Amino acid sequence: MKIEFHGAVRTVTGSQHLLIVNDYKILLDCGLFQGSRKESYARNQHLPYNAAEVDALVLSHAHIDHSGNIPNLVKSGFQGDIVCTYATRDLCALMLRDSAKIQQYDIEYLNRKRVRKGEPLLEPYYTMADAVESLKYFIGIGYERAYEVMPGVQVTFYDAGHILGSAIVVLDIEDRETKRDIRLVFSGDLGRPDRVILRDPTFIDEADVLLIESTYGNRQHEATEAAKDKLENIVNETYKRNGKVIVPAFAVGRTQELVYHLHQLVESGDISSKLPVYVDSPMAIDATGIYRLHPEAYDEEVFAFLDSNGSGDPFGFDMMRYTRSTAQSKELNFLREPAVIISASGMAEAGRILHHLKNNVEDPRNTVLIVGWQAPHTLGRRIVEKQSKVRIFGEEYMLRAQVATINGLSAHADRSELLEWAAHFKKRPQHTYIVHGEEDASHALADGLRNQGFKDVNVPQLGQGYIL
Ligand SMILES: [Zn+2]
């Protein structure tokens, strides 16, 4: 048996690991590499293996850095099954099409520059039609149901508590060459305990080979409970000032968590039931629809909450408004009374959030609430840094609104949560590979695992293969 690491090693994007066993090639994840436009294009366009020779793809979850190159895989000759949970399949139907749209935009940008330099034009690595075509290959499997991906290779998904449908992938393999039974566990992205909506990450008892993510292998988060209290305070203080809370948020995951938190706060009377909350993003509205379709992925707390208030919908309450059309969205520009407006994109780089920021950043009664990590050079980062002027649609605006940050909503386990999860293996894996983390984070987690008695802990290089 051999495993090759073709992405998300010593970095956090482009997850793809190729397993070669019993003459079958099984790909774990097929993510997009997300870096500068130029580097991303080079890395994503050419797959580092022959797609036609891959027999099956096992997908941990729908985030684009794990799923985003699937349309290119199919376009390049892949003919197998794409096996994932039901919710992951449904989220991919939304996210792969969105990814095709973003790419088209990026390619147009690159090509405008190339025209000026007289260079040949680039093709997108896949189109909207390719994204739709790839959906035919998906097979949904419920959590904790064993499924034979290839003869002698069974997959079982366990809840990873990261986003809706996210899974820890357990492969039980009969290796014919060495006549051994091997259990390979791929953590996918691991969530945190006690997050809203989702269950806690499942502890796995046994593994021979472990692939574990390390996004926060060297860092700790704020407690999740503190996040809800902070949200309550920010909303109430802004409401008292007669201001608006403007929240740039990722359409999938973060938006639904915020809505659910606000629903809880309204029900408990901790924020006013008269305060309107708007989700102004067609993508977030579609994603919320998918969250509603998958109660099998909710934790018990959601059902207890719904029982207690009889609302039947975690993502709906009296003053909750979803604005899909452009006309509805534009009406929000004329809103004079207090409100919470949640909109995409999460780093305020594109989308409707730009209109809300433009209209509201100069009023000191308002609050811009940042609920996720903001990459350098994004508008979101400039706001977190409280720069006095920000540029939106090419114009300068004074940043006079309050800026608040909630860090406790991370969808990734922190260092102690990763080590705690790994400590639950009753039998330590014989081989461990650290993936999905910046180099420092991966090495820090590797050291932590070695201290817990893990042997043969490796931080692979891009393209490196190991024979087991
Ligand atoms: Zn993820």
Render 211-271 in DSSP notation, one character per residue: EEE-TTTT--PPPHHHHHHHHHHHHHHHHHTT-EEEEE--TTTHHHHHHHHHHHHHHTTSS
How confident is the model at residue 393, as a pLDDT?
A: 94
CA of 87 to the centre of ligand 1 (A): 14
CA of 445 to the centre of ligand 1 (A): 18
How confident is the model at residue 427, as a pLDDT?
A: 87
How confident is the model at residue 107, as a pLDDT?
A: 87
Tokens 């924020």 appear where? Answer: 271
For residues 172 and 205, the answer to whether their CB atoms sit within 8 Å is no
The residues with which 159 forms a beta bridge, in sequence order, are 167
CA of 399 to the centre of ligand 1 (A): 32
CA of 34 to the centre of ligand 1 (A): 13
CA of 188 to the centre of ligand 1 (A): 8
| Among 294, 353, 347, residue whose Cα is nearest residue 91 | 294
CA of 323 to the centre of ligand 1 (A): 27
pLDDT in tens, the chain (468 residues): 999 999 999 998 899 999 999 999 999 999 999 887 778 888 898 999 999 999 999 999 999 999 999 999 999 999 999 999 999 999 999 999 999 998 888 889 889 999 999 999 989 989 999 999 999 999 999 999 999 999 999 999 999 999 999 999 999 999 999 999 999 999 999 999 988 999 999 999 999 999 999 999 999 988 777 888 999 999 999 999 999 999 999 999 999 999 999 999 999 999 999 999 999 999 999 999 999 999 999 999 999 999 998 888 999 999 999 999 999 999 999 999 999 999 999 999 899 999 999 999 999 999 999 999 888 889 999 999 999 999 999 999 999 999 999 988 889 999 999 999 999 999 899 999 999 999 999 999 999 999 999 999 999 999 999 999
> For residue 398, which phi and psi values (nearest 5 degrees)?
-75, 130
H or E element, residue 16 = strand 16-21
N-term to C-term CA, the chain: 5
Q: Judging by DSSP bridges, how do beta strands 56-58 and 209-213 pair with one another?
A: unpaired
Query: How many helices (H) does the chain have, and how many strands (E)?
Result: 14, 22
CA of 92 to the centre of ligand 1 (A): 13
User: How many other C-beta atoms lie within 10 A of the C-beta of residue 212?
Assistant: 29
For residues 245 and 369, the answer to whether their CB atoms sit within 8 Å is yes
Render 398-455 in DSSP notation, one character per residue: E--SEEEE--TT-SS--HHHHHHHHHT-SB--SEEEEESS-HHHHHHHHHHHHHTT--
CA of 189 to the centre of ligand 1 (A): 5
CA of 166 to the centre of ligand 1 (A): 8
CA of 169 to the centre of ligand 1 (A): 14
CA of 60 to the centre of ligand 1 (A): 9
For residues 181 and 80, the answer to whether their CB atoms sit within 8 Å is no
CA of 32 to the centre of ligand 1 (A): 12
The residues with which 175 forms a beta bridge, in sequence order, are 180
CA of 29 to the centre of ligand 1 (A): 11
What residues contact 36, with CB distance under 8 A and at least 6 apart?
Answer: none
CA of 214 to the centre of ligand 1 (A): 12
CA of 338 to the centre of ligand 1 (A): 33
CA of 67 to the centre of ligand 1 (A): 10
CA of 336 to the centre of ligand 1 (A): 37
> For residue 348, which phi and psi values (nearest 5 degrees)?
60, 35
CA of 307 to the centre of ligand 1 (A): 30
- The answer to whether the bond into 345 is cis (omega within 30° of 0) is yes
CA of 217 to the centre of ligand 1 (A): 15
**How distant, in Å, are the alpha carbons of 46, 108, 393 from that of 441?**
28, 35, 36
What span, in angstroms and rounded, lies between the C-alpha atoms of 244 and 65? Answer: 33
Question: How far does CA 45 lie from the centroid of its chain?
Answer: 22
What span, in angstroms and rounded, lies between the C-alpha atoms of 366 and 360? Answer: 7
How confident is the model at residue 37, as a pLDDT?
A: 76
CA of 349 to the centre of ligand 1 (A): 20
SS3 95: helix
What span, in angstroms and rounded, lies between the C-alpha atoms of 233 and 324? Answer: 28
CA of 213 to the centre of ligand 1 (A): 10
For residues 177 and 22, the answer to whether their CB atoms sit within 8 Å is yes
CA angle 247, 251, 252 (to 5 degrees): 130
CA of 104 to the centre of ligand 1 (A): 23
